[in-house]
Amino acid sequence: MSKNPIALVTGGNRGIGFEVVRQLAMRNFQVVLSCRNPTEGETALRSLGDLAMKVRILRLDVSTDDSVQQAAQE
């Protein structure tokens, strides 16, 4: 198990959320980038360059209970 802290960022594929993902990855966090659309998450991940190694994508729509439950299982 990694000794690096883990952070979950909702809406991490753009805007402020994306910048939070980038900053946390730069500080050696293992980051879970959650977003409703995994394709947009992949685009965000590619734009992180080498930092992408510290980030994984999780499909999550916090406005629906089913999505939250499914994400919690992962």
Q: Is 10:32 a contact under the CB 8 Å cutoff?
A: no
pLDDT of residue 3: 85
pLDDT of residue 29: 97
pLDDT of residue 74: 84
Q: Is 51:29 a contact under the CB 8 Å cutoff?
A: no
Class at the top of the CATH hierarchy for domain 6-73: alpha beta
Q: What order do you get walking across the sheet with 30-35 strand by strand?
A: 6-10, 30-35, 55-59
Largest distance between two CA atoms of the chain: 34
Cα dihedral 63/18/73/50 (nearest 10): 160
pLDDT of residue 2: 63
Digitized pLDDT (tens) for each residue of the chain, 74 residues in all: 468 899 999 999 999 999 999 999 999 999 999 999 999 999 999 999 999 999 999 999 999 989 989 988 88
